[in-house]
Structure 1
Amino acid sequence: MKEEQKNFILFAAFAALVLLGWPMISHWFFPQQPAAPAKMIDGKLQPVPNSGVDPATNALKTIRSRDAVLADSPRVAIDTPALKGSINLKGLRIDDLVLREYGQTVAKNAPPIRLLSPSGAEGSYFAQFGWQGAGAPDGNTVWKADGETLTPASPVKLTATNSTGQTFTVELGVDSNYMFTVRQTVANRGGAPVAVIPYTLISRGQRSTDTSQWAAHVGPVAATNDAAHYIDWKDIESTPQQFTTTGGWVGFSDHYWLTAAIPDQRGGVTIQQRGTAAQQYQADVALAQPIAIRPGKEATYTSHFFAGAKEVKLLDAYQKQYDIAKFERAIDWGWFEIIERPIFTYLSWLFKLVGNFGVAIILLTITIRGLLFPIAQKQFASMAKMRQVQPKMKAIQERYKDDKQRQQQEIMQLYKAEKVNPLAGCAPMLLQIPIMFALYKVLLLTIEMRHQPFVLWIKDLSAPDPATILNLFGYLHFTLPSFLAIGVVPVLLGVSMFFQMRMNPAPMDEMQKQMFAIMPWMLMFLMAPFAVGLQLYWITSNVLTVLQQQWLYARHPEMKVPVEKPSTAKAK
């Protein structure tokens, strides 16, 4: 009895440690709610170090209201089915952009997601286009526009002229989604040759409010022609990262949103990511070699700028249309992309078929469990055989407990005589791990699940269950600690896990019995931060497991017979 009490105390201590320590580690593993916006230090941010780009492009003024900052400079409106905002003619920046199709919350009249903001306003985040070289326009140049509004049907031409006879022109076009086309032209009307290097920079005045997780990168991204590089914010605060490549792109990735400077994929470019300790960051891409322009000649360089949602099919389409190296890797698919992609494609098809993402998740789970059923059946049959020989194996272990080598030999002979493979039950389980992890990542990463309703109070499958029980479903106005914010769906998950574990044979060890008894309720707490879509998958999977086990127990009744403990009496 004393040993059982000791085991229970150890297990209780372990459970308390997990529950109390869970909030400190869960942000690395599970979807998170947005954090509060970062604040400025003394109302200022230090300029980002750069090579050749005017530091004034990154210097921020005292924080003011966005409307006041926007009113300070002449602008060209941006108006497309997916985007709305404006271009700052001072410095030639796209620094005002919202995503029309995505609301900040699930509320019907929620304001749209704001992606870009001007320098001097909260959340400064913008793209700028220009040239390195003597006489090139800088961040204070005011450009002249030939139109008032940029639309998919009407590109805008911006022009600036210097004192030595060079005319700089940027023609901006945009499609009906999120891709801008940037045609930069230099006409040399002077009397001497000039050399210029076209560049695009993306300046960001603070880190993303989304949390970077082990399964979903948030932060600086750079892609070369052979790899995608997911970079930590703090890494570039101390040491800039630079890549020389033909093709590729560079930018910043939020959980669902992306900005990317995309050079001409046929020429050599230098890509950089850099930052400061004041959390100001810059991604830039510049042509690796200067363009020499003789008097009376001109040269044009075409690049692209992406600012929008990381929609899977759209990223794939852009990658194919413009031959952009690794553009689909803006989504951090990870190692199991070969499994995740088919799962995503099938889930999207189911969603179009039934019109409800929650129902699509249930149907996907049924499909996956159906495909894995032969593996599960084989695993269960192997467990049945192992259970049959367990008393004989325990007897051998007791008989030869002082001779481990002889013990192993006798056990292997027993396996051979009974035609039992102890690894047969493990191999099918190992095959299921990448499939389950791939499904988890699909539901975590893809924007297609964001703000998708299911039934009743579940209005967003990408967020945790809002119907928290301990504050009476929100009627009591206080915020619960994360490990106590248990909603109805996590409770259903715990109940489904409880019935699933009840179907398993009772373990012989008392400590294991105690662990199995409390585990469903621990999982209820641990799974609460998950998106409801993931919990819905888990509940459906548990229900299917219970039904599957009932059928398998009918075929293997010996699995219900308790295994007798081996006698503790010494052999005579």
Structure 2
Amino acid sequence: MNEQKNLLLAIVASLIILLIFQYLFPTEKTEVKKKLDSFEEVEKIKPESKILSRKTVIQNEERIYFSEKSRVIGSIALKGARFDDLILKDYKESIAPDSKQVTLLSPQNTKIPYFIELGWMSQQNINLPNKESIWEIIEGKKLGPNTPITIQWKSSEGLIFKRKIFIDENFLISVEQEIINKTNKDFNLTQYGRINRTGTPKTSGFYILHEGPIAVLNNRLIEVDYDDLLEDGSVSAISRGGWIGITDKYWLAAL
């Protein structure tokens, strides 16, 4: 039964949590909602997709690597600027001496994709960075405490998108975004963030422990079980401020 749920979730309803965490132009809230309803950049693993090893995916892409001073091991893909390779250096899957370190995030096209990405949307017909966009490093070498990385992507309209990425001495990653408009035109953009997890992870099954999508929106705690997602298809809410994420027994990825 669990395998059937895995297949159903992977093929039919790849788990997407989409968060609009800032409206740059509040008067366009209705237009942003329409854009969300037609949002088509949802990653799904199709039955014919070739599943690759984690090592193969990472080696075949240009990436920003975490420094040795970080408490995490991994990298950020320059294609799409995705956070999709994160291993916890100080934690293992079990107490066995030969236990592997905990893998939190994994790239698309691997067995269990789990990644985070940021982006922009607009009602105007303009080119924006997407999952295929190749970002370039313009400052820094490796990401670590006190050593941020700055990347950028240029559009054909003359917009320059910049991201400065930080990581603290633990596990908090922060991103400062900047858009430079070198044209004489006005552009209305809305930023978004999403956590994409495909497949139904193994859960503990304790009724007092929540594992799955979790959020605080409009000052209210929201917890959604994987079974409810399979039955209902999706859950949506509009909130000014708050946070959203996916939690396991011990680990949480959140925006």
Q: Distance in 1 between matches of 2:166 and 2:222?
A: 28
Aligned residue among 58, 70, 73 for 1:84: 73
* Residue 259 (1) aligns with residue 225 (2): no
Structure 1 match to 2:206: 213
Relative to 1, partners in 2 of residues 1:207 and 1:245: Cα closer, same or farther, differing over 3 Å?
A: same
Equivalent pair of 1:130/1:199 in contact (CA under 8 Å): yes
Counterpart contact for 2:6–2:200, Cα < 8 Å? no
Residues 159 and 81 (structure 1), Cα distance of their counterparts in 2 relative to 1, 3 Å cut? closer
State the alpha-carbon separation in 2 of the partners of residues 151 and 40 from structure 1: 37
Report SS of the residue matched to 1:101: strand
The correspondence for 1:66, drawn from 54, 74, 84, is 54
Residue 166 (structure 2) pairs with residue 170 (structure 1): no
Is the 1:47–1:58 Cα contact (8 Å) retained in structure 2? no
Which structure has greater helix proportion? 1
Q: In structure 2, do the counterparts of structure 1 residues 39 and 216 end up closer, same or farther at CA, with 3 Å as the change threshold?
A: closer
- 1:350 equivalent in structure 2: none
- Per-residue CA deviation, residues 102-149 of structure 1 (Å, 9 max, x unaligned), is 111212342210000000001110000111123210110000013331
When residues 47 and 225 of structure 1 are mapped into structure 2, their CA distance, relative to the original with a 3 A threshold, is closer
* Aligned-partner Cα distance in 2 for 1:47–1:182: 29
Q: Give the secondary structure class of the aligned counterpart of 1:235.
A: helix
Change (3 A) 1:74 1:114: same
What secondary structure does 2:180 align onto? strand
1:68-147, aligned counterparts within 5 Å?
68-79=56-67, 80-133=69-122, 134-145=126-137, 146-147=139-140
Q: Identity of counterpart residues, as a percentage?
A: 26
Q: Which amino acid aligns with 1:98?
A: I
SS of equivalent to 2:86: strand
2:183 maps to 190
Instruction: Provide the C-alpha distance between the structure 2 equivalents of 1:111 and 1:236, rounded to a whole number of angstroms.
Output: 30
Distance 1:57 1:92 in 2: 16
**TM-score, normalized by length of structure 2?**
0.80
Q: Please identify, of 70-79 and 230-239, the stretch whose mean Cα deviation from structure 2 is larger.
A: 230-239
| 1:228 equivalent in alignment to 2:216 | no
Aligned to 2:240: 246
In structure 2, what is the Cα distance between the partners aligned to 1:52 and 1:135?
19
CA distance in 2, matches of 1:119, 1:250: 21
- CA spacing shift, 1:158–1:46, aligned 2, 3 Å: farther
SS in 1 for 2:133: coil
CA offsets per residue over residues 340-362 of structure 1, 9 Å max, x none?
xxxxxxxxxxxxxxxxxxxxxxx
Distance 1:116 1:53 in 2: 27
Give the structure with the higher percent strand. 2
Distance 1:53-1:251 versus aligned 2 partners, 3 A rule: farther
Separation in 2, partners of 1:191, 1:52: 30
Alignment-derived partner of residue 45 in structure 1: 11
Residue 209 of structure 2 aligns with an amino acid whose one-letter code is: A
Instruction: Output the TM-score relative to the length of structure 1.
Output: 0.37
Q: How does 1:285-324 map to 2 (within 5 A)?
A: none
* Counterpart contact for 1:76–1:147, Cα < 8 Å: no
Seen in structure 2, the aligned counterparts of structure 1 residues 62 and 45 have a Cα distance that, compared at 3 Å, is: farther
**RMSD of the alignment, in Å?**
2.3
Q: Is the 8 A contact 1:207 1:219 kept in 2?
A: no
4+ aligned runs moved over 4 Å, structure 1:
38-41, 46-50
Query: Which of 144, 150, 156 pairs up with 1:157?
Result: 150
Give the AA of the match of 1:128.
E
Greater CA radius of gyration, 1 or 2?
1
C-alpha separation in 2, matches of 1:148 and 1:255: 34
Aligned-pair distance for 1:171? 0.9
Secondary structure of 2:131's counterpart equals coil
Indicate the structure whose relative CO is greater, using CA pairs within 8 Å and at least 6 residues apart. Answer: 2
Q: 1:47 to 1:219 in 2, by over 3 A?
A: closer
3-state SS, counterpart of residue 246 of structure 1: coil
Structure 1: runs of 5 or more not aligned: 1-34, 262-572
1:54 Cα offset (Å): 5.8
Shift of 1:86: 0.3
SS, match of residue 238 in structure 2: strand
1:101 Cα deviation after fit:
1.1
- Residue in structure 2 matched with residue 469 of structure 1 by the alignment: none
CA shift in 2, pair 1:55/1:212, >3 Å? farther
Q: 1:166-203, CA deviations, whole angstroms, 9 ceiling, x for partnerless residues? A: 01111110101111111111111122100111111100
Judge conservation of contact 2:87–2:101 (CA < 8 Å) in 1: yes
**Which residues of structure 2 form unaligned runs of 5+?**
19-35
Asked if structure 2 preserves the Cα contact closer than 8 Å seen for 1:127 and 1:202, the reply is yes
User: 2:60 is paired with a residue of what secondary structure?
Assistant: coil
Distance in 2 of aligned mates of 1:40 and 1:148: 40
Shift of 1:220: 0.7
Distance in 1 between residues matched to 2:118 and 2:234, nearest whole Å:
21
Please state how far the C-alpha of 1:72 moved relative to its aligned partner.
2.3
